[in-house]
Structure 1
């Protein structure tokens, strides 16, 4: 009798490992998707910082072209695929110490603000905040302005 009872109990536990794996797999997949989404956000964040830095450099090198779409297009190209949707590029010029002229002068400061949404892998997780980075550069030369 004892041998039959053990065999019957062993047979009833068939599939228990599959059920346990199914329960754990949901948690592991959620964790994996979260890690991947966070990695995509941090990649977009670093790309935004680089685009703002390169944009500030571009405006500092060519301050006379501040209103042209050429500099904005270059900054947007630096962001590339790290953005999901529209990319906003906002350059701001401020006067340096002792500069009083109407135009741009050496010593003036340019600050570039880049803002965009990072890509998502399907809406499984809550949205991350917009990537918003700024960088500044000093204008050294304004020949031809």
Structure 2
């Protein structure tokens, strides 16, 4: 009779492992999606920092771009796919207009980081700033 009890118990517990796996897999999947989304945000954040730094360098070596559109476009191109939507680039010079050697240029880049399907709440916008010293103003004309 002990064999019959053993067989009856094994039949009752057949689906228990599947149910336990289903409950745990929801938690594991949520954790995995969160890790992936955080990784995408930090990648985008680092790309914004690099874009601001490259933009400041570009303005430092070529401050004579009157409209700033060419230099700003280079910064936007550097951001590339790390942005979701519009990339805003701003620049200011600390001294006179046109800038002179030794002035400081500050470039600010802002945009929204991409999201993986809106499963998690949005992260804050990426806003990065970098500064550089203006080096070459030989060809600038007022």
Give me the TM-score of the superposition, normalised by structure 1: 0.92
Q: Which residue of 1 aligns with 2:35?
A: 35
1:103-142 matches, cutoff 5 A:
103-142=98-137
Q: Secondary structure at the match of 1:65?
A: coil
Name the Cα RMSD after superposition. Answer: 1.2
1:144 Cα deviation from its structure 2 partner:
1.6
Q: Which runs of 5+ in 1 are unaligned?
A: 96-100
The offset of 1:7, in angstroms, is 1.5
Contact 2:49 2:129 in 1 (8 A): yes
Residue 49 in 1 paired to residue 49 in 2?
yes
How far did 1:126 drift?
A: 1.0
2:64 equivalent in structure 1: 64
Return the alpha-carbon distance in structure 2 between the equivalents of residues 31 and 140 of structure 1: 48
- TM-score, reference length from structure 2: 0.94
Aligned twin of 2:92? 92
For 1:115 and 1:30, the matched residues in 2 are separated by: 29
Give the aligned partner of residue 13 of structure 2. 13
Aligned residues: 140
Question: Which consecutive unaligned segments of at least 5 residues does structure 2 have?
Answer: none
Aligned-partner Cα distance in 2 for 1:127–1:70: 31
Distance in 2 (alpha carbons) for counterparts of 1:102 and 1:93: 8
**Cα displacement (A) at 1:68:** 3.2
| Cα distance change on mapping 1:102 and 1:126 into 2, 3 Å | closer
